[in-house]
Amino acid sequence: MDQESPIEALDAIARSVDEAFAAARDDNDLRQVTARFTGRDGSLTKIMKRIPELPGPERKPFGQRVNEVKGLVERAQSNAAERLRSEARARELSRPALDITLPGRRPRIGRIHPCMRTMHEIIDVFTSLGFDVAEGPEVELAENNFDRLGFPPDHPAMDMHDSFFLPSRRPGDRVLLRTHTSTVQVREMLSHPPPVQAIMPGAVFRRDDDATHSPMFFQLEGLMVDEGITLSNLRGALEAFLTRLFGAGVKTRFRASYFPFVEPGAEMDVECLICGGRDPHCRVCKGTGWLEILGCGMVHPVVFESVGYDPERYRGFAFGMGIDRLTMLRYGINDIRHLFENDVRFLGSL
């Protein structure tokens, strides 16, 4: 038999299109079938090369016919694609809705953050000693953060509180992220007549960032005001508290210190449980063997005046402790930043 003429060959291609696409079972087949017609080595691509075999006047109609067949291929291809889609949908719908043979995904159980665990334990200790729990806002007026606590304007003590000030909505208001929970003492006294016996936990913010300081950390404030409160009530409360938290053997010391809102003022240190006082290069106690965990003192009469309490009649003690510091000591963590990097492998191990 003679070789097929280009025209016969083209007709044969046209006749084979529908059947070829009908045989496609998936997207991959579909690509291959399409390539067989219009790919680089496809039959329609190759047949164009046979145009020179035709007499001149037949060439143009032949080219048009090739284009028509390409159109056929495109339509057949999109019909087949639609057919594959609806077949896949039908298969999906006829499958059982839930494959109970798949292995399950175990839900990850969250845990309470170590700082919050410490905080809840401290709250338990103080509530059992008769303290109420109060809270105040993290965005605070400078008036409550400094002025009513007896910080004179431009007092150097304010350097320690290098602070995050915020734009205020009311002109004249100085607004900041509170630098300590002592603000809540002010709020408690402004809103309650004496006696007051409360602890006030919460987040506080300072421009600090190193192994023992984080720009956001947690404090717990304490305040007890009544007639006849003395420094020994303060020591008693703090010692009861530390014994409950660390056990009876832990060493502590009381040092005179200055805070504008107490007189006398003191700081309390706990022995460095990270290095046991043995590492002169310890980054937590800086080689001193002690870690400061709280400030405290007898409430200054100036504070009583600023909240409308009678300083002649009432006495009080106050303290403010760093919950993160206590957490570091309890769990032997040597860098406060580990607590806030939120690496669950670390936090989960505590």
Contact residues for 137 (Cβ-Cβ < 8 A; gap 6+) = 178
CA torsion 190-193-195-200 (nearest 10°) is -30
Footprint of ligand DAH on 117-156 (CB under 6 A):
none
By the rule CB under 6 A, 320 interacts with ligand DAH: yes
**DSSP-assigned beta bridge partners for residue 290:** 271
Collapsing DSSP states into helix, strand and coil, what is residue 213?
strand
Q: How far is the CB of 219 from ligand DAH (least distance, A)?
A: 6
* Beta carbon nearer to ligand DAH, 69 or 321: 321
* Beta carbon nearer to ligand DAH, 47 or 234: 234
What the block records as the tokens of 241 is: 């508290």
What mask, x for binding ligand DAH by CB under 6 A, covers residues 25 to 54?
------------------------------
What mask, x for binding ligand DAH by CB under 6 A, covers residues 236 to 265?
-----------------------x--x--x
119 C-beta neighbours (distance < 10 Å), count: 22
234 C-beta neighbours (distance < 10 Å), count: 23
**Contact at 8 Å (CB) between 338 and 346?**
yes
Collapsing DSSP states into helix, strand and coil, what is residue 2?
coil
Segment interacting with ligand DAH, rule: CB under 6 A, options 3-11, 18-26, 132-140, 315-323: 315-323
What the block records as the tokens of 155 is: 């007092």
* Beta carbon nearer to ligand DAH, 221 or 324: 221
Task: Give the phi and the psi of residue 265 in degrees, each rounded to 5.
Answer: -115, 155
Segment interacting with ligand DAH, rule: CB under 6 A, options 21-29, 35-43, 235-243, 289-297: 289-297
**Contact at 8 Å (CB) between 13 and 37?**
yes
* Beta carbon nearer to ligand DAH, 83 or 192: 192
By the rule CB under 6 A, 271 interacts with ligand DAH: no
Q: Which of 118, 182, 197, 214 binds ligand DAH (CB under 6 A)?
A: 182
Nearest by Cα to 260 from 350, 192, 161, 131: 161
Segment interacting with ligand DAH, rule: CB under 6 A, options 43-51, 60-68, 96-104, 318-326: 318-326
Residues in contact with ligand DAH by the rule CB under 6 A: 180, 182, 221, 259, 262, 265, 295-297, 318-320
